Amino acid sequence: MARVPAGVRGAAITGWGTAVPDQVVTNHDLERTLDTNHDWIVERTGISERRIGGTTAGLSVESGRQAIERAGLQSGDIDALVLATTTPDRAVPGTSSTVQHLLGLSCGAYDLNAACSGWVYGLVNAHGLIALGAEKVLVIGTDTLARITDWDDRNTAILFADGSGAAVLEAVDGPGQLLGWHLSADGSAEEALYAEVGGKLQMEGREVFRRAVRIMVDSATASMAAAGVSADEIALVVPHQANIRIISASCERLGISLDRASIVLDHTGNTSAASIPLALADALDRGRICEGDIVLFVGFGAGMTAASAVVRWSAPVAPPTVADHRQGGLT
């Protein structure tokens, strides 16, 4: 765990954006090709539909542009771009370079792969960049898992989807939002969830579930301890949207009621690195986060990564200042 040292230059989220593809795949659609049904999928996962399509770069550009505009900035204001993704459009170059070009940025850009934990890893990275002198950093989490999903495999086809979420972090006077953070990984469990280069996702569902709850709870507990806050002080938890049973079990063990969680997976599916920023944007757009609220981000992913961060919300939460042209929307 890591407490933010006193005197470190802080940051705050000042803009956010989302993008999801137009194509909707419902549980009833999957019934036609898989040995499953709508009620079983909802009971096991909490998912009713998911969005698929698009490229990692294309979705990233959409969410990133919204975040920049909502923050009231121009593309030239961004000092660094961090793109968290497991599904780059090419092996080389990094998809962040494509996104940097298409957004008209003139800054450094790099990909970060921590699977479903990636956006929180990127958030911590961005705070480090700002502590070292950057003024404004764009953090995007995007995955297009549909193209590495075996749609004949019920184990994975009911879960995974495509999407993107972004946030702009800006340097502030004072300590900023971040109170504590935690990152971890356990490569000994990589066979539980993986995809070979050019291959499809392979998952041992029971093993993932068993490990996921434990490492999410461990990571969240470490971040809260570093931040010096208790579960009772958490106004909202924004978890990785993997499975409603994982979210519910993790919240129960943390002592946080499920009604204090931002949940969007019923209509987004598991979008990997995009899931936490999608859930954050939904909470902000719905007015669920107020000035001074303590918010917990927590996720887990392949490689058995885990990541969490505790922030005290300080950025203004205002109505959208850009057209809400998210493809398909989140509502």
Q: Which residues are catalytic?
A: 116, 240, 270
- Supply the DSSP symbol for 187: G
Residue 324: partners with Cβ closer than 8 Å, 6 or more residues away: none
Token reading at 73:
């900035």
- Name which of 259, 180, 177, 270 is nearest 219 in CA terms: 180
132 burial via Cβ count (<10 Å: 0-12, 13-18, 19+):
exposed
Q: Quickly tell me which residue has 């702009």 as its tokens.
A: 168
Token reading at 175:
């300590």
Token reading at 19:
């993008």
Q: What is the 3-state secondary structure (H, E, C) of 252-285?
A: HHHCCCHHHECCCHHHHCECHHHHHHHHHHHHHH
What DSSP line would sit under 96-150, residue for residue?
Answer: HHHHHHHTT--SEEEEE--GGGHHHHHHHHHHHHHHTT-SEEEEEEEEEGGGGS-
| Interatomic CA distance for residues 271 and 313, integer angstroms | 24
CA-CA-CA-CA dihedral for 119, 197, 56, 10, to nearest 10: 20
